[in-house]
Amino acid sequence: MSVTRTSNNPAIPIDISAAGLQRERRRAGRQWLVAGLIAGDLVCVLLAMSTGFYLKFFSPLGALGMLSPAPANWLTYLPQFSLAAVLFLGLQLYNDRFSRAGLLASPLLGLRTACVWGALLALVSLGLKVDPAISRLFVLFSTCTLAVLLPWWRFAYTRRFIARNYRSWVQRQTLLIGWNAQAPALLQRAQDRARLYPLRVVGVVAELGAVPLPEGVQHWPAATELAPLFQACHYDEVIVAEGSLDAAGLAAVQQLCGRELIDFALLPATITSLTRCLHLESLQGVPLLTQPPRPLDQIGFAVLKRALDILGALVGLLLFAPVIALFAAIVYRESPGPVLYRQTRSGRGGQPFEIIKIRSMRIDAEAASGAQWCAEDDPRRLKIGALMRRLNIDELPQFWNVLKGEMSLVGPRPERPELIQGFKSEIAYYNIRHTVKPGITGWAQVNGWRGDTCLQSRIACDLEYIESASLWFDIRILLMTIRATNNAY
């Protein structure tokens, strides 16, 4: 059967060598882009160490640590510089996976790398006897400088230079075969020009009916023969939507991909939750898709997260105690009565606990209406309540809940039990959010999904956090919370 196209697409000139050449050119291009990233990283390390060297030995800040004679010149520290550069390269994973995914999160990855590099260099300086000895203050100054330079460089390189000039080299040209419930979301994200996603869907083979495709995405009907199409086009990857092909068809596509040196992937239709936690294992040669412990269930990460919670809660209570006292006094002056509001919420495993907030509404706010979310221009709010809710000031007493272990700094926001009874039956996977501790802030809140907004979008963000949780993701959310005021009624 000949290859047919819809009327808005030209015919395909079959040229196997040209297709392979373009795939190889993009692969080489990705390698050169990663090489440029490595070179820039090393420049940042050199600049950071040079700054640390100057601040330690030739500036007044050097007096903060132990007094040590200044080296005659920077060449004296050349072995230390070389050791630090080798340690930095050892921390990186400049491989194909890095070029496909790591580049996308590289600014945040840069901050983490700088901190880990500084800690590792400090440990090495304690164990190795080098002459001259590596100054601890030099390590501190170098680490702080690198923590600024590296994220800035990687953001400029990936989000400005690559995204504007070499996007096609980074993004893998992808053909989607078939259509299922997950296909629209995949297509939408892959076409988002504001983000540098690792793949871009450039063609779809499926019967779509009236479903519109984004501009630039080619379309073939489901009856199209795939062998000439694979030979003619320069795809890096083929994704098959689960349920669109039978077992024989799926095996045939895999064989074609192997013959044409194209990567193969499967877009699941039935697995729609916690997909990032899925792992393909081999049980004596039998492939088995399993769901290992989620990040928040891993003991090591749980200990680190709890340590961060305790430290953050103590600092928060000490730092914001005057703010809490000030706004509590303003609330009492406007509406005499209890200034702290306690409300039952559901925590991890559905365990109830009392959340503490600065009261932002009248005492009788729910006497007539019962439990309901606050809406824009809600008449039940106090005059100062709108400002407190917009700036998240009413949530500050919840540091005490964090210290008690009922909440975390970051996690899905806790909901009222009377509202949960309806949500868990109406919204798929809603109760998965109760497998982790609730948080003062969360990924849904910093993205604007709070209060009386789309509950499905909020749950989707909560699930994304649960399956992608990390210490650095928590820090990112905490920093984003400062400016997260959307829908804060």
Tell me the per-residue pLDDT of 141-198, one tens digit each, with 9 for 90 and over: 889 999 899 888 888 887 788 877 777 777 788 899 988 888 887 887 777 665 666 7
> 385 vs 206, which has greater pLDDT?
206
Tokens of 423: 């949500």
Q: With beta carbons less than 8 A apart as the criterion, state whether 359 and 397 touch.
A: no
Q: What percent of the chain has pLDDT over 70?
A: 75
Task: Give pLDDT, residue 6.
Answer: 37
Q: Is the pLDDT of residue 279 over 50?
A: yes
Q: In what order do the strands lie in the sheet containing 172-177?
A: 218-220, 199-205, 172-177, 237-241, 263-267
What residue spans define the domains of the chain?
Answer: 19-167, 171-270, 297-481
Residue of higher predicted confidence among 341 and 381: 341
* Token output for 139: 């390590």
> ∠ CA(409), CA(414), CA(416), 5° rounding?
155
To the question of domain 171-270 being in CATH 3.40.50.300, the answer is no
Residue 403 contacts by C-beta under 8 Å, 6 or more apart in sequence? 309, 310, 313, 314, 317
Reported as half-sphere exposure (CB side, CA atoms, 13 A), residue 97 has a value of: 2
On average, the pLDDT of the chain sits at 77
Percentage above 90 pLDDT, the chain: 10
3-state secondary structure labels for all residues of the chain: CCCCCCCCCCCCCCCHHHHHHHHHHHHHHHHHHHHHHHHHHHHHHHHHHHHHHHHHHCCHHHHHCCCCCCCCCHHHHHHHHHHHHHHHHHHCCCCHHHHHCHHHHHHHHHHHHHHHHHHHHHHHHHHCCCCCCCCHHHHHHHHHHHHHHHHHHHHHHHHHHHHHHCHHHHCEEEEEECCCCCHHHHHHHHCCCCCCCCEEEEEEECCCCCCCCCCCCEEECCCCCHHHHHHHCCCCEEEEECCCCCHHHHHHHHHHHHHCCCEEEEECCCCCCCHHHCEEEEECCEEEEECCCCHHHCHHHHHHHHHHHHHHHHHHHHHHHHHHHHHHHHHHHHCCCCCEEEEEEECHHHCEEEEEEECCECCCCCCCCCCCCCCCCCCCECHHHHHHHHCCHHHHHHHHHHHHCCCEEECCCCCCHHHHHHHHHHCCCHHHHHHCCCEEECHHHHCCCCCCCCHHHHHHHHHHHHHHCCHHHHHHHHHHHCCCCCCCC
CA distance 6 to 213: 12
Q: Identify the pLDDT of residue 410.
A: 93
The pLDDT tens digits for 397-447 are 999 999 998 999 999 988 888 777 777 667 767 777 888 899 999 998 888
Residue 345 in this model has a pLDDT that exceeds 70: yes
pLDDT tens string 44-64 = 999 998 898 888 877 787 667
Convert the pLDDT of each residue in 312-325 to its tens digit: 999 999 999 999 99
